[in-house]
Every structure is written in structure tokens, then in C-alpha cells.
Amino acid sequence: MSGQNYSSTDDESLVKAARKGELAAFEELVFRHRDPIYARAFSMTRNEQDAVDLSQEAWIKGWQRLEQFQGDSSFTTWMTRIVINLCLDHLRKQKRHRADSIEELDEDSGGVERQMPVVTVNPTAGMERAELRVKIDAALAELSAEHRTVLVLHEFEDMEYKEIAKTIGCSIGTVMSRLFYARRKMAALLADMRKET
Amino acid sequence: MNTKFFSATRLVCAALFFFLLAGASAHAADKPLKLEAQLILCSNDAPTNGRPVTPEIEKKLKRLPLKWQHYSVVSAQTFSVAKDESKPLVLGKSELAVKNLGGERVEVTLVGHGKITQSLRKGQMLVTNSNDDACLIVVRQLD
Amino acid sequence: MNLEQQLKLQAFLDGELPEREAREILSWTQRDGVAAALLAELKNTRQAMAKSEPHLSLPEAREFFWSKIEREIQRREPVAAIAPEVTLFTALRRWLLPAVAVSALVIAGMIAHFNVPKTAGATVADADTPTVETTLANSDATTYRDASEGTTLVWFSVAADDSSVPSKTPAAIN
């Protein structure tokens, strides 16, 4: 590892150097992008330790697969895809369904949505962005892993239905149902939070 | 010189070890199994009475995709089953039969539901339905 | 409004509909107050989430996080072996050692095999994976295995048309 200081080097050059085996260049990439990668892992798993472990594993895989990074997207986007896939594998292994397991069974038949009245008042109107972030975070924690995953991929990763279906390994219909349920549940949760304040 | 001799000795010792291990394993496979079956009551409310399950069992149950948070023991039976023998049990409204298939494998028949065949080494646990509401049956090998 | 219509509304909001269908949905929401209200709710939620992703920081110090990554990268990378001086004895021993070890294992396995008779029906390659047979023709079993804790859950369920047994289990269905 050379003693070169990479702090002012752009990402593209860092990737090139890292491909040649420069671990210090890769370290700089990790330093720059560790927070968004961790944040994505946490938003999907809702467990701090799991998110740390998964983001660590994502970086290791990123190092191993540097040759595959073509520059079609930003380095962060590329790394985010790696951590998303790791999180999906992790969630599949876990398959923890608690009290919302019955709701999930109902959701596919459209049962739950009948029980959720339309939220007519915008529950986030007038809210400061910082407060909204806190409320969104709290509401995301209330969703099941399956619903949260689809919502995160659609809303935060701007993925289309088809891409989400391919990433998760399910049908587009399932993506649409889960996204619909997740959004309705979020609306209800945000409305409840507004009532409490 | 000595290196060559020592290597040959090590090889012979390793081979002997494998033979002994194989023999010991074969012998252990035929011993009777000492098992425990528990009928466990499940709920999401903190238990007010009843004996809670051991921390070890609680930890294993909480990792399963079940919606309950609290588990307490309704009844437990400890029994020994020799190889190729079957032990009938009644736990609450459930009737079971546990058969020792040898090699630390068991066949658990839950009457009216079905039959489960799998290994049950020390530290492993089998969890299945009970005919009692909000109850599970847990079978494990005891030390 | 059925679920299919609701999902069409959502797809319209997300720009996932072909132009013709999108125009039909737009027209529908202009005529139907319930559809319009649901669309507004979905839109509010989407807008709330846009650019409201919680800002999170990795809860570990940079050096500590990197040290774990670095260690693991180095551990997983193939290590170049230093070729020893090869003599005839070394070459023979290199061949002989694994051959004898494998032979000893095979012999031990054969002894264990003949000493422990197979049980009829025990055909699973992985002894920890359960085999399940159900008694009733219309029943099913869901199996979940937690390999790290050595716990197996087998949940027997019965089809909904059998009124004598509850059809929904409290366990998660895959």
C-alpha cells in the first residue's frame, strides 16, 4: 500500500487506482461513501448491527468486483446495488414475520386495504423537512421487511416496477400490491403521528 | 531421517484415529435417546402465571417466524427411547409418537397431522403444532 | 373500486401506464371523487417520501470500520505459495499424504456405514433437513429451519374447506 494521499482525488481516478491494487485508494472510496451505503442497508434491515455487517460485506464485494464497474452509473449507485442485493439475501434468510403476517396474507387478496380509510388531509403538510425525516424513519420501522423493501427501492432508489421485480425476484403484480399497501400504511401511520403531536 | 520416520508415524496414528472415531460413532448411534417433549403456551401478553421456558428455548423460539413474544411451559415429559422403539405421548390435546431411528435421528408422529423425520442432536430442537389453541410442541434431546 | 383499479391509479401516479391508459385514468379521477381522494393520498405519501430519506451515519469510527474490511480483503485474497525445493522424496510425500488420508477416511466411512444400518426412508443427503409426511390429503406442512440455532419448525395446516381445523396458522407463510 503506498503512502499516497488520495483525499483530493476524484472517484473515477480512485477506482482506477483501486483496480490496480491500491488499497489506500479504495479506503478513500470507503471513507467517502460509507454513510449512504450504511443508510441503505439500515433502511432495509432496520437493524444497526446487521446494517454495519452488510455494508462491510458490500465493500469487500465491491473490492472483489471492481473490474465489473464500467462507469455506467456513479460509484455510489453501483455500490448501493451491491448492498441492496446483500440485504435482500439477508432478509430472505431471516424471514421474520411477526404480528403483521396475517396482514400480509390479507394484502394479496386486497383485504387489508378495505380496512384502511383514505387519508384526506395531507399528514405532512407544513412539516419541517427534518421533522418529516424523523417521522418517515419511524413509519418505515413499522412496515414489514417486504413492504419496506419495495417502498425503499421505489421511493429512494427511483427504481421502476420492472426493475424492482427483477431485483427482488417476484412478479410486477406483487411489487405493485406491496407498494400500494406500503404507501397506504405509511399514510395511515403519518396521519396517526400527526394526531399525536 | 527422523522427519521421514515421524511423518510415517503420524500417518499411522491418523489412520488409527479415524478407525477409532468410526467405531465410536457407530456405537454412539445405537444408544437410547434421552428426550424431552414440552407443551408450550404462546401469547403476546407478558405471562402472569405459568413457568416461562428456559432462556435457551426462548431464544430459539424467538428466532422463528412466529407472531408470539412470550412462551411458558404447560407440561413437559422426559423419556428415553431405545433404537427402533417408539414412545407414545399425550401432551394436552395432542397425541404423539416419538421413534428413535438411530444415528440421533427421530421420527415424530403428530397424530391427525403427520410425521416428521429428522436429526435431533444435542442442542437441536423440533417445534411443531399442538391441538391446543396458541400452543406449540417442542421436542429436544437432553444431555 | 376493486384492487385492480386501485393499482392502476398507483401505476398512473408512478408513470408506469401507457399513454392511452393514463388518459383514461386521469379522466376517471376527474369524474370520481373517491378515486381522486385515493390518488391524492398516494401522491401525498409519495411527495412526503421524496427527498425525505433519513440521513444516517455509519455508527463506527472510520479506522475501525476500514480495518475490518482490509483484514477481510486480505484474508480472502489468494496467497501466493512459496514453492518449496522439490526433491523426489518431497514429491512422493506430497502425493502420498493426501492419498493415505483419503484412503483412511474412505475405510472409516465404510466401517461406519456397515455398522449403522440405514433406516428405510431416510434418504435425505442433509440429515438436518426434515422430511415431512401429512396424514390428511388436503393438508400441508410448512417447514422453516434456523440452521445456526439448530431449530426446525414444522407447521401442519389444513385447507380452508375443512371446517374442523383452523385454516390460518399463526406462523408466517413464505
Task: Tell me the CATH number at A152.
Answer: 1.10.10.10
Question: Tens digits of per-residue pLDDT, B21-60?
Answer: 666 666 665 788 999 999 998 887 776 666 888 888 988 8
Judge if A86 and A48 occupy the same domain.
Answer: yes
CB pairs under 8 A between B and C: 139
Please name the helix (run of DSSP H) or strand (run of DSSP E) that holds residue B30, with its range, or none.
none
Residue A15 backbone class (left: φ over 0; alpha: ψ -120 to 50; beta: rest): alpha
Q: In this structure, is residue C95 part of a structural domain?
A: no
Residues B60 and B111 in one domain: yes
- What is the per-residue pLDDT across C73-96, written as a single tens digit (0 to 9) for each? 998 877 555 555 566 777 677 777
| A106 shares its domain with A84 | no
Domain span holding position B59: 31-141
Vertex C113: Cα angle to C108 and C116 (nearest 5): 120
Determine which of C10, C25, C53 to mutate to test the interface with A (most A C-beta atoms within 10 Å): C53
pLDDT-above-90 percentage for chain B: 27
What's the DSSP call for residue B83?
A: B
Q: With contacts defined as CB-CB under 8 Å, which chain C residues touch A35?
A: 56-58
Cα angle, residue A171 at apex, residues A165 and A176 outer, rounded to 5°:
75
| Distance (Å) from the alpha carbon of C69 to chain A's nearest alpha carbon | 6
| Residue-level pLDDT at C162 | 42
**What interface predicted TM-score (ipTM) does this complex get?**
0.81
* Mutation target vs B (from A94, A96, A146; most B CBs, 10 A cutoff): A96
For residue range A30-49, what is the model confidence (pLDDT) as tens digits?
999 999 999 999 999 999 99
One domain for residues B129 and B80: yes
What is the domain count for chain B? Answer: 2
Same domain, B53 and B8: no
Q: Is residue A179 part of a domain?
A: yes
Decide if A157 is inside a domain: yes
Q: Which of the residues in chain A have pLDDT under 50?
A: 1-2, 97-111, 113-114
Query: Are the beta carbons of B65 and A99 separated by less than 8 Å?
Result: no
Cα–Cα nearest to A14, from A4, A2, A28: A28
Nearest CA in chain C to B121: C150
Question: Which residues from chain B sit within 8 angstroms of residue C119, using beta carbons?
Answer: 101-103, 105
Q: B142 burial class (0-12, 13-18, 19+ CB within 10 angstroms)?
A: exposed
Structural domains in chain A (count): 2
- pTM (2 d.p.): 0.52
For C142, list phi and psi in degrees, rounded to 5. Answer: -105, 130
- Tell whether B5 and B60 lie within a shared domain: no
Give 10-residue mean pLDDT values along chain B (143 residues): 55 68 64 91 74 88 82 90 91 91 90 88 90 90 85
Closest by CA position to A39, among listed A20, A52, A29: A52
Number of Cβ atoms within 10 Å of the Cβ of A102: 17
* Whether residues B129 and B94 fall in one domain: yes
Is the domain of B65 the same as that of B113?
Answer: yes
**Does A1 reside within a domain?**
no
Q: Are residues A127 and A159 in the same domain?
A: yes
CA pair distance A45, A93, nearest whole angstrom: 12
Whether residues B67 and B5 share a domain: the answer is no
B35 and B22 together in one domain? no
Q: Are residues B101 and B48 in the same domain?
A: yes
- The alpha-carbon gap from A82 to the nearest alpha carbon of chain B, in Å, equals 26
Which residue positions in chain C have pLDDT lower than 70?
79-87, 91, 111-128, 136-139, 158-174
SS3 of A120-177: CCCCCCCCCHHHHHHHHHHHHHHCCHHHHHHHHHHHHCCCCHHHHHHHHCCCHHHHHH
C140 within domain boundaries = no
**Are the Cβ atoms of A97 and B44 closer than 8 angstroms?**
no
Same structural domain, A116 and A185: yes
Q: C33, exposed or middle or buried, with CB in 10 Å at 0-12, 13-18, 19+?
A: exposed
Distance to chain C for B49, nearest Cα, Å: 23
Among A38, A124, A161, beta carbon nearest to C58:
A38
Nearest to C60 among A52, A184, A190 (CB): A52
Question: Is the domain of B8 the same as that of B68?
Answer: no
Residue where a domain terminates, one of A70, A94, A118: A94
Q: Out of A47, A74, A94, pick the residue that ends a domain.
A: A94
Domain check: are A86 and A30 in the same one? yes
Q: What are phi and psi of B81, to 5 degrees?
A: -125, 120
| Residue B65 in contact with partner chain C when CB distance is under 8 A | yes
Tell me, what CATH number does A51's domain have? 1.10.1740.10
What residues make up the domain containing A33? 11-94
Radius of gyration (C-alpha) of chain C in whole angstroms: 31
In the block, which residue shows the cell 401469547? B43
Say whether residue B45 is in contact with chain A using an 8 A CB cutoff: no
Q: Which residue of A has its CA nearest to B67?
A: A98
Q: Is B60 helix (H, G, I), strand (E, B) or coil?
A: helix
Residue in C closest to A49 by C-alpha? C59
For residues C39 and C58, give the distance between their C-alpha atoms in angstroms, rounded to a whole number.
Answer: 37
Handedness of CA A85, A89, A90, A95 (dihedral sign): positive
Total Cβ atoms within 10 A of residue B137: 22
Cα distance between residue A42 and residue C49, in whole Å? 16
Q: Is residue C8 part of a domain?
A: yes
Domain residues for the domain of C45 are: 3-49
Domain ends where: A63, A94, A125?
A94
Closest residue in A to C3 (Cα) is A110
Helix, strand, coil percentages in chain C from 3-state DSSP, rounded to 5 = 50, 10, 40
The answer to whether residue A3 is domain-embedded is no
C30 within a domain of the structure (yes/no) = yes
Interchain pair B67, A96: CB under 8 A: no
